[in-house]
């Protein structure tokens, strides 16, 4: 018996939704927009990139302690650290962090004030040509700040 063949995609077939919708992540305010953090010119992201977010207070503590830091963006009181794509695989990032696959981050909702901005801005540019913060030291630091034990698996 010959197995059935699958039809080829065509204009008449429904398309799958993009993995990066325009609306915010689940639980974000209705109407929250998502945009991708844009790396500065001259930095190579050959491994792809994701972002790890945390509060500015936690971000300042991390920045003071990590020996090597890649691109860091700030949007209001939230900081985003650029890490290689897939840095969430096999790890349980602590609740004090947000992990954004593809570095698609939500814009804050509510009115803009002198202290708020809707566009993330680059607050740290690395000295070299790599945009990445090493994810394992960042993960351990985030766990330390959260007061939780690091947790990972070798199988997914």
List pLDDT tens digits, range 22-48: 334 443 334 445 699 999 999 999 999
Q: Can you give the pLDDT at residue 30?
A: 40
HEC readout, the chain: CCCCCCCCCCCCCCCCCCCCCCECCCCCCCCCEEEECCCCCCCCCCCCEEEEEEEHHHHHHHHHHCCCCCCEEEECCEEEEEEECCCCCCECCCCCCEEEHHHEEECCCCCCCCCCCCCCEEEECCCCCCCCCCHHHHHHHHHHHHCCCCCECCCC
Q: Domain map of the chain by residue range?
A: 34-146
What share of the chain has pLDDT > 70, as a percent? 69
Residue bearing the bigger pLDDT, 14 or 89? 89
């Amino acid at each position: 018996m010959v197995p059935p063949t699958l039809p080829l995609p065509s204009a008449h077939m429904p398309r799958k939704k993009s993995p990066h919708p325009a609306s915010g992540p689940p639980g974000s305010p209705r109407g929250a927009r998502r945009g991708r953090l844009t790396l500065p010119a001259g930095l190579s992201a050959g491994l792809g990139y994701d972002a790890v977010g945390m509060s500015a207070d936690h971000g300042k503590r991390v920045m003071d302690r990590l020996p090597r830091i890649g691109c860091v963006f700030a949007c209001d009181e939230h900081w985003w650290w650029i890490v290689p794509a897939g840095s969430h695989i096999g790890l349980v990032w602590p609740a004090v962090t947000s992990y954004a696959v593809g570095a698609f981050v939500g814009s804050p909702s509510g009115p803009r004030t002198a202290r708020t901005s809707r566009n993330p801005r680059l607050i740290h540019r690395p000295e070299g040509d790599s945009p990445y913060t090493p994810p394992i030291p960042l993960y351990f630091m985030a766990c330390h700040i959260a007061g939780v034990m690091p947790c990972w698996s070798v199988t997914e």
